[in-house]
Amino acid sequence: MTPPRLTDAALAVEGRVALLTFKRDDVRNALTSTELVDDIPNAIAWANANPEISVLIMTGEGSAFSAGGNIKTMGERAKAPPHVLQQNYKRGIQRIPFALEAAEIPVIAAVNGPAIGAGFDLANMCDIRIGSTNAQFGETFVNLGIVPGDGGAWFLQRLLGYQRAADLVFTGRIVKAEEAKEIGILLEVTTPEELLPRALEIAGKIAAKPPLAVRYNKRLMKLAQRQGLEEHLDVCAAYQAICHKTEDHAEALAAFFEKRAGKFHGK
């Protein structure tokens, strides 16, 4: 499938891995007042519909992963009436959490620099986060007298638990890379030079697995966050029955017994 036309981001494909790079370093890859608010959902929708893609990596070009909201334009945007502001959130930045929650493939955040406010929330919406030593994180909305309008409080406490999330939401403090790893924001910390190669290495390991099984496992992980056990086991049985009938499952068994790498085609 032809990649979508993006305005403030670039999409590259290497094998079954797609790399989405934010290209607005002039505003530290802010999500508001740029087209990233459209580019990110469009890229995810394309990946969902493309059976040749198994993993999506997101990263920022330049010094920041994403500064979140553009503070320079925030005062002007706030002049609109409350009902207009509410609709602007629903039609704007809130498209991103809906898109990430609907992603059918694993999404990896390669956090190259500061991920602040909505930029932090964007990273938390991903399945896996690795960061360079330059990465910093902050749920800084309270510092500006506002709240996480993109669902950040919902994602953060599911990632860290209520108490750690409350600390970050209520204080608006900045967390550097090593602490981020200690408390569970980051899976790994790398040097800046090693960040993308490591992200691609992780993505490559996922992309080497049977593509349909990767997508069904992604669905199960998301469903498990909101289902009771009985309901979840019913879905597991249904998905397992489907996977047992795939060509990739037969190939995986053959490869196991023949002690060789499997050759999977998503069928």
Statement to judge: residues 128 and 193 lie in one domain: yes
Are 129 and 226 members of one domain? no
Q: Do residues 198 and 92 both lie within one domain?
A: yes
| pLDDT for res 129 | 98
Residues 185 and 223 in one domain: no
Q: Which domain holds residue 181?
A: 9-207
Q: What is the CATH number of the domain that holds 224?
A: 1.10.12
Q: Do 100 and 114 belong to one domain?
A: yes
Q: Distance of alpha carbon 178 from its chain centroid, rounded?
A: 20
- Domain end point (choices 168, 190, 207): 207
Residue 73: the pLDDT is: 81
Residues 133 and 193 in one domain: yes
Together in a domain, 158 and 43: yes
Q: Are residues 59 and 103 in the same domain?
A: yes
How far apart are the C-alpha atoms of 31 and 35, rounded to whole Å?
A: 8
Instruction: Tell whether 174 and 233 lie within a shared domain.
Output: no
Q: pLDDT value at position 110?
A: 98
Instruction: List alpha helices for 66-134, DSSP H.
Output: 71-77, 82-91, 95-101, 118-124
Say if CB 102 and CB 44 are below 8 A apart: yes
Burial 30-66 (b: 16+ CB within 10 A, else e): bbbbbebbbbbbbbbebbbebeebbbbbbbbbbebbb
Whether 2 is in a domain gets the answer no
Looking at the structure, tell me whether residues 246 and 194 fall in a common domain: no
In a domain, 264, yes or no: no
Name the pTM for this structure.
0.95
244 and 187 share a domain?
no
CATH code of residue 111: 3.90.226.10
The span from the CA of 41 to the CA of 91, in Å, is 12
How confident is the prediction along the chain (267 residues), in pLDDT tens digits per residue?
A: 889 999 999 999 999 999 999 999 999 999 998 999 999 999 999 999 999 999 999 999 999 999 998 888 877 777 889 898 888 889 989 999 999 999 999 999 999 999 999 999 999 999 999 999 999 999 999 999 999 999 999 999 999 999 999 999 999 999 999 999 999 999 999 999 999 999 999 999 999 999 999 999 999 999 999 999 999 999 999 999 999 999 999 999 999 999 999 999 999
Same domain, 117 and 224: no
pLDDT at 135: 98
